[in-house]
Amino acid sequence: MVQRTAHSLSNISAASRMDPVEAWREGVNVQAAYNNPQTQAAVEAALIAMVAKTLRYLDYSRTITADQDIIDAVEHLRLEFPAMKLEEWAIIFHRLKTGQYRPGYERLKLPELVSIFQQYEGERAERREATWGELKKATPNNLDDEQVKALYEQYAQQRREAKQAAQKETQVKRVKTDERGRWDFIPYPNTQDHEPRGAMVKKVDAVFSQYVRLRATDDTGHGECYTCGSRRHWSEVDAGHFMSRACMSTRWHEDNVQFQCKRCNGFRSGEQFLFARNLDAQFGEGKAEELFIESKQTRKWTRAELEQMYHHYKRLVDELRSSKGL
């Protein structure tokens, strides 16, 4: 048990790519490993690190942040789902990172985690039942239990081989290099003629932020915070996002970003509830949900689009500064 647990912990990143049926069959039971004094500390540390890294990666506006709350959440999930395997925890949190599990309105606290674990258990049961059903169709009625078990293992091995073959097909091909390991051809050289895309994103962020803040001000440069109503000078506030700026499809959406004081945007995590309510009041019922749905769409901005957007908002900023004397 100790060796199996140590092996699972050392290969936890690979476990996230396992099939749920495979993880259930070959994985290490979390509660059993935790109850073993020799592996208890390592298992608890691995689970806490798994949860904490996922929460930091997702960067949701309404989530668990305090260390003690994370520890309490891990303990609750471990006790609530005693049959769960260590490898299955890895699969669940990997799916959260890749967007297969998407909590609503960027909220991911303990109730949402419990719901996701329950969803996973249901999916696992369906997969196991389907696998067993396929096996029974191909199994003669006169076989004894040992023969059925042997057929099941053979069928499982075939599924593993098919999965490995599919993974090999998706592997990224290496770029051809010369005898010194240098690329024979670099399609997008980093020269002055080709400004790095990351630098272009930052330029658009900066000019768009100025536009959002300036459009909401009067001729003195002061405006009202979108969520709390306090008056601030445009140079002292943020361009606050309703849906996170990590969502590229709505990162520069003019309705999604508003004049917001640093207290609401920073210390109060964006005040998303008030933000949503004010969006619906300003633009009509359902606007917040519309932005939420749009934020989940994948969007890859081209270099040409970023340059066009930069020049567009640069012109608007110059016009606002000139008209308001700022």
> For each successive 10 residues of the chain (326 residues), what is the average pLDDT?
63 64 79 86 88 88 88 90 86 87 82 88 70 52 63 70 68 61 54 69 93 93 93 93 91 94 88 92 92 90 90 93 88
Q: What interhelical angle do 40-58 and 86-98 show, nearest 10?
A: 10
User: What distance in Å separates the CA atoms of residue 302 and residue 219, rounded to the nearest whole number?
Assistant: 36
The predicted structure's pLDDT at residue 104: 75
The whole-number pLDDT of residue 189 equals 47
Q: Which of 39, 103, 114, 101 is nearest to 74 (CA)?
A: 114
Three-class secondary structure of residue 81 per DSSP: coil
Burial class (CB in 10 A: 0-12, 13-18, 19+), 8: buried
Closest listed residue to residue 120, CA positions, set 83, 74, 156: 83
**Model pTM score:** 0.44
Name the token pair of 54: 């996922």
Task: Give the integer Cα–Cα distance in Å for 145 and 230.
Answer: 73
Please identify which residue in the block is written with the tokens 């939420």.
292
The reported pLDDT for the residue numbered 98 is 85
For residue 41, the model assigns a pLDDT of 86
